[in-house]
């Protein structure tokens, strides 16, 4: 190989490697699973109905019928959501599960997916059920494992509606989240260094889903090994 072409090949490989390492897969804001099976009445009629996703007040629906199954309903709904220009999310189906992703910087304040039969007098419930994503609620902190402590101490934040990721700020400073501790009901963080002793700092959890925070107070003590002056 000519040295110039070899040099370009090396540079291209390095660029691709950098691009791959820098790429971060998008984080879903939530998911649902379609379950159930197509119902048939004693008369031989098959159930038909609608599965609807309503996100930020925008409703997008797909129909189901005799030949539908959970995976086909999920695939149709995900494709319809992603192709709709007014939708504020993208959706991806994997089998019967649909994962939802924000479009750009859209703030998702409400989301609900429902399934209804066209003939409820014959079919008491829809053939296909929706499990998972329901009305999205803002994060709510109910307790801290410590109400006060020095910088760098670990604190468990307990609450609800934390989703599957976001940010935590304490006294306006981003707090390090202990890896693999963010769940829908608890987050473990370290109190940031640099907060002055005696500060009553706001602990603010902001989720990926809503970009809306909810605060709780934490009193900063002197650093480990130091006395009040």
The C-alpha angle with vertex 118 and arms to 115 and 121, in degrees rounded to 5, equals 110
Is residue 197 situated within a structural domain? yes
Task: Tell me how far apart the alpha carbons of residues 52 and 60 are, in angstroms, rounded to a whole number.
Answer: 6
The verdict on 115 and 209 lying in the same domain is: no
The verdict on 102 and 154 lying in the same domain is: no
Strands (E), 65-118: 89-94, 97-102, 111-117
The structure tokens listed for 193 are 């260094």
Across the chain, which has 229 residues, the per-10-residue mean pLDDT values are: 47 44 61 90 95 90 96 97 92 92 78 90 91 64 91 91 83 92 92 88 78 72 62
Q: What is the largest CA-CA distance in the chain?
A: 86
CA 21 distance to own-chain centroid? 23
* Rounded (10°) CA dihedral 165, 33, 130, 46: 160
**How many separate domains does the chain show?**
2
Task: Tell me how far apart the alpha carbons of residues 95 and 98 are, in angstroms, rounded to a whole number.
Answer: 8
Q: What is the pLDDT of residue 32?
A: 83
Domain range spanning residue 202? 140-220
The reported pTM is 0.59
CATH of the domain at 65: 2.60.40
The verdict on 36 and 97 lying in the same domain is: yes
Domain end marker among 89, 113, 132: 132
């Amino acid at each position: 190989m000519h040295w110039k072409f070899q040099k370009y090949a090396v540079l291209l490989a390095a660029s691709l490697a950098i691009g791959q390492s820098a790429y971060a897969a998008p984080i879903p804001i939530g998911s649902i699973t379609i379950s159930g099976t197509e119902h048939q009445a004693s008369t031989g009629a098959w159930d038909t109905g609608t599965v609807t996703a309503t996100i930020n007040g925008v409703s997008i629906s797909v129909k189901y019928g005799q030949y539908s199954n959970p995976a086909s309903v999920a695939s149709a709904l995900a494709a319809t959501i992603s192709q709709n220009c007014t939708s504020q999310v993208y959706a991806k189906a994997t089998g019967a599960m649909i994962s939802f992703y924000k479009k750009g910087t859209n703030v998702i304040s409400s989301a609900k997916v429902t399934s209804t039969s066209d003939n409820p007098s014959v079919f008491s419930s829809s053939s296909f059920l929706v499990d998972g994503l329901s009305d999205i609620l803002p994060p709510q902190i109910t307790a801290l494992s410590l109400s006060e402590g020095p910088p760098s101490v670990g604190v468990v934040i307990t609450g609800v509606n934390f989703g599957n990721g976001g940010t935590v700020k304490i006294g306006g400073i981003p707090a390090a989240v202990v890896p693999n501790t963010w769940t829908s009901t608890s987050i473990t963080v370290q109190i940031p260094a640099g907060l002055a002793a005696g500060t009553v700092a706001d602990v603010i959890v902001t989720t990926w889903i809503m970009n809306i925070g909810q605060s709780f107070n934490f009193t900063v003590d002197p650093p480990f090994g130091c006395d009040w002056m």
